[in-house]
Amino acid sequence: MKLSNIFYSHTGRNSGKWKHYFDYYDRHLGRFVGKQFTLLEIGTCYGGSLQIWKKYFGPGVKIIGIDIDPRTKFEEPQIYTEIGSQSDPEFLMSIINKYGTPDVVIDDGSHIQNDVMSSFVNLYPRLNDGGVYVIEDTHTALWSGYNGGIKNPNNFVEIASRFAMDVNREFAEEHYVTSIPDLKEICFYNSMIFIEKQKTPKAEPCYVGTKPY
């Protein structure tokens, strides 16, 4: 079932998403449906999204939500929540130690650019091979109130755009220092970024047909 159908039929805790997010989630996370894996979501608000992920992925998913607001604390089968800051490396590592390394991380937290970067730096390296790191509401990278702006060096969209070069790192003729050596794919959408982690072999050309001369 599509994520949008599950979202609009949800009657549990409150949740809110931009309408165009659903197709992107189906495209990048649909392969996890019915599988056993761990999902970590930063920013739980009322907890509805955690319940929706459980319905979407099925009984094999373990869901951990983290938030700085103590009022967001709740648990139910498959869902665990912890209170702490996404910019606190020690707190994030305590989550990894307690629940294991995640396969999917969704950052729907403060959206402040420094926090987005801090979470990424601390959590992406712990993401399992084949995992996906998602950042929501990246339009905040354009807003000064979130320490963003077109020319702001903290603008995470601008920083992440440099990672795209890592996908083609093996073809660099000049000296090139890779930011993310295990980056398989990075996709930019309206207000979202999906980053897929996987150790991939070098590209190999292949040919078919007969030379005409």
Per-residue pLDDT, 57: 98
- What is the spatial distance between Cα 74 and Cα 101, in angstroms, rounded to a whole number? 21
Q: From CA 149, how far away is CA 134, in angstroms rounded?
A: 21
Strands 183-189 and 192-197: antiparallel
SS3 at position 55: helix
Return the pLDDT at 201: 80
The 10s digit of each residue's pLDDT in 107-150 is 999 999 999 999 999 999 999 999 999 999 999 999 999 999 99
Average pLDDT for residues 148-168, to the nearest whole number? 93
Q: Which of 126, 100, 119 is nearest to 36 (CA)?
A: 100
Task: Identify the residue with better confidence: 207 or 105.
Answer: 105
Q: Per-residue pLDDT tens for 163-203?
A: 989 998 889 889 888 889 899 999 999 999 999 999 888 88
Under a CB-based contact definition with an 8 Å cutoff, are residues 86 and 56 in contact? no
Q: Which pLDDT score is estimated for 186? A: 97
pLDDT value, residue 2: 96
pLDDT at 20: 97
In the prediction, which pLDDT does 177 show?
Answer: 85
Q: Per-residue pLDDT tens for 13-48?
A: 999 999 999 999 999 999 999 999 999 999 998 899
| Helix and strand totals (H; E) in the chain | 6, 7
Q: Taking phi first (over 0 means left), then psi (-120 to 50 degrees means alpha), and beta for anything else, what does residue 117 get?
A: alpha
Tell me, what's the pLDDT at 212?
85
Pairing of strands 61-67, 79-83: parallel
Active site residues: 111
Tokens 């000296």 -> residue? 175
